[in-house]
Amino acid sequence: METMILLALLAALILLALGIPIYLVLMGLASALLVAEGRTIAGLGQHVLDHLQSPILISVPFFILSAVLMQGGGLARVLFDAALAWIGWIRGGLAIAGVAATAVFAAITGSSAATTMAMGTLLVPLMEEKGYKTSFAMGLTAAAGTLGILIPPSLPMILFGLIAEESIPRLFLGGVIPGLMQAGLFAAYIFLVANKVGGKAEPRVSRKEFVNTNVHAFPAYLIPIVVLGGIYGGFVTLTEAAVLGVLCALIAVLFIYRSARLRDIPGMLTQAVDRTSVIVLIIMGATLVSAWIIKSGVPQSFAASIVESDMKPWQFLLIMNGCLLVLGMFLEGVAIILIVLPVVFVVVRQLGIDMTHFAVVMVINIELALLSPPIGLNLFVMSNVAGRPVLEVLRGTIPFFLIMLGLLMAVTFFPALSTWLPNLVLGS
């Protein structure tokens, strides 16, 4: 069976290298393998249709739609300009403001690809214009875009909570401090290398301009406040928060900024559905692949051998990090969760590791997976958005990837980074 898995992996790599879309490779290969081992043909279509009905997936198009509105309607720009007025005068200020605006954006959408798409369209041309190296601009935005799943709301964390039967509000809060740390580390790094990558300080804006920019941005600030306030302050569910975010963005672009007209809206709706389809179909392909791998029994025997070996929690987490990094090269977040979590969460409990701690470790690994070749969703999204080769994006992400590896180690060895806030708010 291990041989079959290696052969399948090889076939997948060849098909991908030929430029066949990822969802087709995953769906085609997994279907062939499953039918070969006796799965019914109807069962495979049923698998896709059943997984599409997940209540989690219902919120996805709305998180993406608010991103489309904010981007198409110039709201991302407004948020970014405000961030620039606050911190643009620092060395590397433009890029640091980009990270800040991305972090705010991440607090609205639960997907990293959506964050990268929206911010990439805006930030990369701007940074190029101001003299930053293109690969740096793309690398930074692709890496900062991964914050979409670490800063709540986060779709992978919802999925994690559903599979491991853990409290989702608790998992959400676990990502806050590591998320802010990631943004802070990125900002510090930009400050240090600003001269080398072409980033100069922006002129300090006048007091009047500062006030004007912020007043102009106020309706845009309201959107994350309504969405996050709705979720944490206590008025609406996750799906409803996504819908209210769309409502606010609509009002802002139609009536306040007047950056879009009513007749632009149907096109934006179609665009949001299209972008959802791109992401969701890869997820469907990944779930088909994991259906095949799980039936092989290989993941289960791995779990059994861990429990037998009498391992310490930190040793287990280090090994998990190694496995997740390798898996993350080839798979994306949802697939990683679907394959790994059902097998290991029992081991995690038996070793006495806090589930929130493990969830955050896993989500940071998924962030890294979005950036690691050969299959890194954010690399492709950024390459698509900027119209540049994937290799150039990859080169730009390397320093940020290393910073995130450092963050991963910190979060792995200091559980308090992910458990302190949820324990403070929700009790331990």
Partner 1 sequence: MSQVIAFLDRLIGWIAAIALGITFVLLLYNVATRYLIQFGVIPPSVQLNWVFEICVFLLVWAVLLGVARIERRAQHIRVDFLYNQFGPKGQAAAELFALIFAAGVAVFFIYSGKLVVDDAILWDERSETTLRTPFWILYLALSVSFTVHLLFILERLRLLITTGESAKNTHFD
Partner 2 sequence: ADELVISSATPPQHIQTLTMARFAEALMERSGGTLKAKVFDSSQLYNARDVGKAVARGDVGMATVPSPYLSRVESNINVLDLPVLKGMTAQERAKMLDGPLGDKLNEMLHAKMGVVVPGNWPILGRVYYWSTSKPLTNFEEFVGLQVRIPGGAGPAALVEGMGGVPVVMPGSDMPLALQQGTVDATMAAIESVVQQKLTDVGVRYGFWDQGVVGFLIPIVSQAYWDSLSDDEKALFTEVWNDVVADQRVANLAVDAEMRATLKDWGVTISDADDASSAAMREKMMPQQEAVIAKYKLDADLVALATEAAAQ
Phi/psi of residue 196, nearest 5 degrees: -75, -35
Near partner 2 by CB under 8 A: residue from 5, 294, 323, 390: 294
Helical packing angle, 155-164 and 333-350, nearest 10° = 40
Determine the interface stretch with partner 1 among 74-82, 280-288, 312-320, 347-355 (rule: CB under 8 A). 280-288
Q: Does 372 sit near Na ion (CB under 5 A)?
A: yes
The Cα–Cα gap between 394 and 139 comes to 7
The Cα–Cα gap between 303 and 340 comes to 10
From the list 385, 388, 69, the residue with the least C-alpha distance to 227 is 69
Question: DSSP string covering 299-323, please?
Answer: HHHHHHHHHHTT--HHHHHHHHHHH
Shortest distance, position 331 Cβ to partner 1, whole Å: 13
Determine the interface stretch with partner 1 among 1-9, 139-147, 275-283, 404-412 (rule: CB under 8 A). 275-283
**Quick one: what does residue 369 bind among Na ion, partner 2, partner 1, none, with the CB cut-off 5 to 8 Å set by partner type?**
Na ion
Determine the interface stretch with partner 1 among 183-191, 207-215, 262-270, 361-369 (rule: CB under 8 A). 262-270
**Quick one: what does residue 291 bind among partner 2, Na ion, partner 1, none, with the CB cut-off 5 to 8 Å set by partner type?**
partner 2
Neighbours of 267 (CB within 10 A): 12
Near partner 2 by CB under 8 A: residue from 43, 184, 322, 389: 43
- Alpha carbon distances (Å) from 167 to 44, 114, 350: 31, 25, 18
Shortest distance, position 346 Cβ to partner 2, whole Å: 5
Cα of 109 vs its chain's centroid, Å: 9
**Quick one: what does residue 384 bind among Na ion, partner 1, partner 2, none, with the CB cut-off 5 to 8 Å set by partner type?**
partner 1
Phi/psi of residue 88, nearest 5 degrees: -60, -25
Q: Does 376 sit near Na ion (CB under 5 A)?
A: yes
SS3 388: coil
Determine the interface stretch with partner 2 among 191-199, 287-295, 326-334, 407-415 (rule: CB under 8 A). 287-295
The Cα–Cα gap between 235 and 248 comes to 15
DSSP 19: T
Determine the interface stretch with partner 1 among 21-29, 94-102, 317-325, 405-413 (rule: CB under 8 A). 21-29
Near partner 1 by CB under 8 A: residue from 375, 407, 408, 411: 375
Q: Does 229 sit near partner 2 (CB under 8 A)?
A: no
From the list 272, 375, 292, 390, the residue with the least C-alpha distance to 332 is 375
Site string for Na ion, 140-159 (x = CB under 5 A): --------x--x--------
The Cα–Cα gap between 155 and 142 comes to 18
Determine the interface stretch with partner 1 among 19-27, 130-138, 187-195, 203-211 (rule: CB under 8 A). 19-27
Structure tokens at 237: 């569910």
Q: Does 58 sit near partner 1 (CB under 8 A)?
A: yes
Site string for partner 2, 137-176 (x = CB under 8 A): ---------------------x--xxx-xxxxxx------
Question: DSSP string covering 273-291, please?
Answer: HHHHHHHHHHHHHHHHHHH
Q: Is the CB of residue 113 less than 8 Å from the CB of residue 277?
A: no
**Quick one: what does residue 31 bind among Na ion, partner 2, partner 1, none, with the CB cut-off 5 to 8 Å set by partner type?**
partner 1
Place of tokens 């394959």: 339
Shortest distance, position 23 Cβ to partner 1, whole Å: 6
**Quick one: what does residue 168 bind among Na ion, partner 2, partner 1, none, with the CB cut-off 5 to 8 Å set by partner type?**
partner 2
Amino acid at 303: A
Q: Does 346 sit near partner 2 (CB under 8 A)?
A: yes
CA angle in degrees (0–180, nearest 5) for 364-423-166: 60
Shortest distance, position 366 Cβ to partner 1, whole Å: 16
Q: Does 308 sit near partner 2 (CB under 8 A)?
A: no
Place of tokens 């066949």: 20
Question: DSSP string covering 160-204, please?
Answer: HHHHHT--HHHHHHHTHHHHHHHHHHHHHHHHHHHHHHTPPPPPP
Binding site for partner 2 (CB under 8 A): 39-40, 42-43, 46, 50, 55-56, 158, 161-163, 165-170, 231, 233-239, 291, 294-295, 300, 342-343, 345-346, 426-427
Binding site for Na ion (CB under 5 A): 106, 110, 148, 151, 328-329, 369, 372, 375-376
Binding site for partner 1 (CB under 8 A): 15-24, 27-28, 31, 40-42, 44-46, 48-49, 52-53, 55, 57-58, 61-62, 65, 117, 236, 239-240, 243-244, 246-247, 266-267, 269-278, 280-282, 374-375, 377, 380-381, 383-385, 387, 389-391
